[in-house]
Structure 1
Amino acid sequence: MTQKRPQLRNFATQPNQDDEEDLFEYFYDKPGALPGTIVIDKDAPLPKIILIDYNETNRTCLALQSPEDCAKYLDTASVSWVDVLGLGSEEILQQLGKVFDLHPLVLEDVVNVPQRPKVEDYEDHVVIIARMVMPKESGNSFYSEQVSLVLGKHYLLTVQEEPQRDCFTPVRDRIRHNKGTIRKRGADYLTYALLDAIIDGFFPVLEDYGERIEDLEEEVIANPTRKTLDKIYQIRRELLALRRAIWPQRDAINTLIRDGNILVSEEVRIYLRDCYDHAVQVMDMVETYRELSSGLMDVYMSSVGNRMNEVMKLLTVISSIFIPLTFVAGIYGMNFNTEKSPWNMPELNWYFGYPLCLALMIAIASGLIYFFWKRGWFENFSTIKDE
């Protein structure tokens, strides 16, 4: 695997080779690389730093030029959410590590994407690596992006790959308009709110897959083609990518609930249980859709086999009708001399011999067609009729 970091993975209906790799592979260091080495993609956008500092009565939202500008907010009693959008500057990211006192291995996990979702506990902060998915506008694919969260006593640092889109808008609106209890609580509750938004972001993606699978079910039964097989195969691979994203994410949330940490209060752990339940529900939906997609593959093979059987049945019926006609035509096509014997096909000298022969053939064909119809051989068994 290469160390190229795609900006924002788009799992389209017709993936290229890079998309195929992105479905399954995680980042790993080159053999012999120093621990903590970070790799910056040349196409990665420059970081944008947004600070949202709030308490129950006040809120401040600033666009910062440098990570040092947020240092004075980190030790205050208010909650400081530092949102970094983009991974295109090693200098800024190194400054970020110094301001938040991040271990070099933590900075490596944050910058070198994609990483497996996980939770790591340090002395004065907790690092959470999560994967965020968002449905594409066409509804036929999804975007996948790594989100890194560093939880401190009064602050939360989030680092996203791309600035274009995320699923945190409802959380920002709740902070802006002071909805709910988010501005009355600490940074651990903000962490829960963002994790819950990430998990809930899986549901619109899965709804799109549910609709695609329903459409494919009708297509597989009515008119299966090679493109249908490609669609089924692609859905199975994308669902596997979703499974690989949500499975370790569920374990990471469970780690926050199970392992005691002074930065996560007992009350927030109760909220995280609900987030854990949502993750389990997402897993159940992913597994259900994977089974349905596997079943679609079996239905596709059955439908193709039924269509072949229908073709063979039609050819068999046609052959069965023409075999006796060929027999009659073959007999009367033989050369006999009626002058030698009256038994040498006297019909050859009849005035209406030719019309009678044709009438006999028509009668035989009609009789066979009626017989096959009564037996039900002209019905299409590959079509499922609604009752």
Structure 2
Amino acid sequence: MPVREGLLRTVYRPFRRRTKPGSVPGTIQHDPTLPPTVCDIVAFGSDGIEERREATLNDIQELSDRFAVCWVNVVGLGTADMIKKIGEFHKIHPLALEDVVNTHQQAKVEEYEGQLFIVVRMAKLEPRLWTEQVSLLVGKKFVVTFQEQAGDCFDTVRQRIRKGTGRIRSRGSDYLAYMLIDAVLDDYFPVLERYGVDLDALEERLLSGQSHNVIPETHRLRSEILQLRRTIWPHRDAVNVLIRDEHPLIQTDTKTYLRDCYDHIAQLSDVADTYRDLGAGLRELQFSLDSQRTNEVMKVLTVIATIFMPLGFIAGVYGMNFDPDTSPWNMPELEWAYGYPFAITLMLGIAISLLMFFRHKGWLGNSNS
């Protein structure tokens, strides 16, 4: 099973705060490289639903007056004026808007004058890992979500609103906020599953002897999993704040569902820890296999060197240039008719004896002892 090459390169976006040091708190400094701001609305209640694409402030006002809950989904943070107007319409605190456009925030929950500001991070593999900040402003009759760019995991929520399944149309804005948070958290599970597939593929490559370039790939996968875990963990504290603290916007029944989100975060953290340990185990396995292969090579080379040591000694003795005519003690075996066959037989016998001895000791092949 091949490992997805794209996953082995992590996108580490540098920390960049848009507002300059010393700026007035609440200053909105947008990123001009982001897509222009587009506003979509899904307004609903127990008696119906209405959606509008590329809506205006007048559309927001009209639908907010007619329906019990108005979900305003703001896509793209490239138009500062539009973001300011939406913030002024919903009376969003300037500090919350500042955090909306500074997209390096971790998951958190803050309270502003009867509103809740919630930040979650959405994981994406396209094909490389990166996370996108999603900011939620929860009011009495509205939820405003801010996304950096188009594409999200909220289609299941939209479908449930359109079809009227479950309790979402009969509940308030707090339940809609729970559904959006739950959709973001649930989207982490397939991401982690794909990492599990990649780790299994790396293990298969290691055990099959295809260890080329496995160490860098294992290290990169483990780094991405660590990055993912660091993104998941702050959600635990954020959801815990929603469950623990009393707030008029969060109903008691909704807190029951939020506890399920808390359990999901714990599961995600456990899976990420498991995959991180698997990555470390694969790295240790690679080192062990490399060490084993090196030992096997060294053993073969040692056996060859050990066999050729006595053979080299015999050949060296026979290669000495002592004249037997000068003295009868100067290598008399050179004048023996069977001297050469004797030397060859002696060297062959020593080599065979050493091979049998090594095999008997288990140093070469299986031991018979």
Q: Report the TM-score when normalising by structure 2.
A: 0.91
Q: Which residue of 2 aligns with 1:7?
A: none
Matched residues in 2 for 1:82 and 1:296: separation?
A: 46
Q: Which residue of 2 aligns with 1:71?
A: 61
Establish whether residue 189 from structure 1 lines up as the match of residue 175 from structure 2: yes
Is the Cα contact below 8 Å between 2:43 and 2:64 reproduced in 1?
A: no
Q: Counterpart of 1:216 in structure 2: which amino acid?
A: L
Q: Displacement, 1:183?
A: 1.3
Matched residues in 2 for 1:104 and 1:331: separation?
A: 95
Q: Displacement, 1:217?
A: 2.4
Q: Which residue of 2 aligns with 1:151?
A: 138
1:13 to 5, 8, 18: 8
Residue deviations 1:82-141 (CA, integer Å, cap 9, x gap):
1111111111111111111111110011111121110001222111000011334x5xx4
Map 1:86-165 → 2, pairs under 5 A: 86-136=76-126, 141-163=128-150, 165=151
Is the Cα contact below 8 Å between 1:75 and 1:154 reproduced in 2?
A: no
Q: Which residue of 2 aligns with 1:378?
A: 364
Cα distance, 1:368–1:32 mapped onto 2, change above 3 Å: same
Q: Which residue of 2 aligns with 1:339?
A: 325
Q: Which residue of 1 aligns with 2:3?
A: none
SS of residue matched to 1:261? coil
SS of residue matched to 1:20? coil
Q: Which residue of 1 aligns with 2:39?
A: 49
Q: Which residue of 2 aligns with 1:269?
A: 255
Matched residues in 2 for 1:254 and 1:68: separation?
A: 36
Establish whether residue 238 from structure 1 lines up as the match of residue 224 from structure 2: yes
SS of residue matched to 1:364? helix
Cα distance, 1:171–1:124 mapped onto 2, change above 3 Å: same
Is the Cα contact below 8 Å between 2:109 and 2:241 reproduced in 1?
A: yes
SS of residue matched to 1:74? helix
Q: Counterpart of 1:13 in structure 2: which amino acid?
A: L
Q: Which residue of 2 aligns with 1:172?
A: 158
2:275 to 258, 266, 289: 289
Is the Cα contact below 8 Å between 1:135 and 1:204 reproduced in 2?
A: no
Cα distance, 1:29–1:367 mapped onto 2, change above 3 Å: farther
Is the Cα contact below 8 Å between 1:224 and 1:304 reproduced in 2?
A: no
Matched residues in 2 for 1:41 and 1:225: separation?
A: 43
Unaligned runs of 5+ residues in structure 2 are 1-5
SS of residue matched to 1:301? helix
Matched residues in 1 for 2:169 and 2:138: separation?
A: 16
Fraction of identical pairs, as percent: 43
Aligned pair count?
Answer: 362
Unaligned runs of 5+ residues in structure 1 are 1-10, 381-387
Q: Displacement, 1:224?
A: 6.6
Matched residues in 1 for 2:117 and 2:329: separation?
A: 104
Matched residues in 1 for 2:278 and 2:319: separation?
A: 60
Establish whether residue 38 from structure 1 lines up as the match of residue 28 from structure 2: yes
Q: Counterpart of 1:168 in structure 2: which amino acid?
A: F
Q: Displacement, 1:366?
A: 1.9
SS of residue matched to 2:42? strand
1:324 to 289, 292, 310: 310
SS of residue matched to 1:150? strand
Is the Cα contact below 8 Å between 2:135 and 2:147 reproduced in 1?
A: yes
Q: Displacement, 1:35?
A: 1.4
Residue deviations 1:16-53 (CA, integer Å, cap 9, x gap):
xxx3345xx47475322221222322221112211001
Cα distance, 1:68–1:369 mapped onto 2, change above 3 Å: farther
Cα distance, 1:311–1:62 mapped onto 2, change above 3 Å: same
Q: Displacement, 1:260?
A: 0.7
250-259 or 224-233: bigger deviation: 224-233
Matched residues in 2 for 1:76 and 1:254: separation?
A: 33
Is the Cα contact below 8 Å between 1:119 and 1:128 reproduced in 2?
A: yes
Q: Counterpart of 1:57 in structure 2: which amino acid?
A: D
Q: Report the TM-score when normalising by structure 1.
A: 0.87
Map 1:347-386 → 2, pairs under 5 A: 347-379=333-365
Q: Which residue of 2 aligns with 1:6?
A: none
Cα distance, 1:324–1:210 mapped onto 2, change above 3 Å: same
